[in-house]
Amino acid sequence: MKIFRPNTYFSLITLCVSMILFLSFFQPTVHANNLSEKSSLTRATSPGIGTQNLLEEIPPLAPEEPHRKVAFITGVTRGIGRAVAELFLENGIHVIGVARDAVALQAFYTNNLLKNSISRRRGELKTIVADLSTDAGQDSVALAVARYLGENGKLDLVLLNAGVIKPLGPKAIFTASADEIRRCLRTNLESAVVLTGALYPFYNKKNEGTRIMYVSSIAGERPGGGTAFYSTTKAGLDQWVRAMLKDAPGGDKVSFAGVNPGNVETDIHSKDLRGEDPLNFPRATFFNQMKGKLMSAEKAAEYIVWLLNTAPKEEFLKYPKHNIYNSEQQKLWSTEPVLDPYPATQTIPVSKSSALRSP
Ligand SMILES: NC(=O)c1ccc[n+]([C@@H]2O[C@H](COP(=O)([O-])OP(=O)(O)OC[C@H]3O[C@@H](n4cnc5c(N)ncnc54)[C@H](OP(=O)(O)O)[C@@H]3O)[C@@H](O)[C@H]2O)c1
């Protein structure tokens, strides 16, 4: 019998890791700009998403395992979207993730490939580089999803999560540039509305159907101060869900809900809200005082993954907008209570509480 010495094992592991890193360099990420040129060509000859020629270029998600669920998530490079993607992958669910930062997507892909080599149960990650505040970015997504799903793949879980909070500050209402305003409205609201329809061909209209969730905020119901654009987009998402619940195109096989994920320690808090000059955004002081009191992105992800993947359909459809601080529902998914760090502000009228509102 041949015995491997420890240094032989070490060399083998190093070789495997190097191979994975080398292969990951050729990650078949779909870039919005390349795709939009081709997509207009394809559309001219074949309306809809009949992309036979393009499907050959990029290998679809493991077609030999059709029983695996597939999730689509926007905003997977950081924060809540990244934590949800990690949890799905850990649970063996494939993820197609969208964001702008190609380097961060590449790192996430490589990291998942490494973890995948240890556990074959993990889901596969596919990425799409797209700026969802642009026409090209929004238009490229459906075609990229078609490539990744292959001929028969379907999306089971959809999380429209990408979001930005800027422009910030009371004066921004009149001083923000049209570009800054559009970036917020288009990323947070327009892209979610456009993608709902653009992805319709890929919804699972059989068996368990597709669950679609929109990441909203308390700001959609109760504007704080200095977040007028952000609050407007979240109110828009809330109304979009309520309107769709009347008109849902796929009947009960395609179900919709919004979610308030709570106050979560992500870049929105650490960089944007705390980092803004208090002279421009007075609530920056309050948000700095709240440092250390917010929940982790992993906790918010636990809730969202439960709602999308585990909760019974009746529970998913119970509220047009779920709320992580719903103590009754917490009994179903969390082992410990999840408390609102701003509880006193929940009952104060908007005019008096504007200095204390969450994003
Ligand atoms: N954190 C909270 O306390 C809180 C509370 C309520 C609601 N929310 C909501 O939760 C969602 C996620 O926020 P987060 O706190 O996790 O923020 P985050 O850490 O800043 O993450 C935002 C994600 O969105 C992506 N994104 C931003 N602009 C994009 C664009 N134009 N095109 C494509 N992707 C874009 C970012 O990726 P790239 O930069 O790589 O593009 C990133 O992955 C947002 O909708 C936010 O409004 C957060």
122 CA to centre of ligand 1 in angstroms: 24
- Shortest-distance Cα residue to atom 8 of ligand 1: 217
Residues near ligand 1 with C-beta < 6 Å? Answer: 74-81, 98-101, 104, 131-133, 161-164, 187, 215, 217, 261, 263-264, 266-269, 359
What helix, strand, coil percent values describe the chain, rounded to 5? Answer: 50, 10, 35
Q: Tell me the C-alpha distance between 269 and 204, whole Å.
A: 36
Q: What are the pLDDT digits (tens) for 159-210? A: 999 999 999 999 999 999 999 999 999 999 999 999 999 999 999 988 889 9
* Cα angle 69, 110, 138; round to 5: 60
298 CA to centre of ligand 1 in angstroms: 14
pTM value surpassing 0.85: yes
Q: What are the pLDDT digits (tens) for 120-171? A: 889 999 999 999 999 999 999 999 999 999 888 999 999 999 999 999 999 9
Evaluate the omega torsion of the peptide bond into residue 167 and state whether it is cis, within 30 degrees of 0. Answer: yes
Closest ligand 1 atom to Cα of 186: 31
What's domain 58-135+147-353's architecture?
3-Layer(aba) Sandwich (3.40)
Does residue 305 sit in helix, strand or coil?
A: helix
332 CA to centre of ligand 1 in angstroms: 27
List the structure tokens of 307. 């709602």
Question: Domain spans of the chain?
Answer: 58-135+147-353
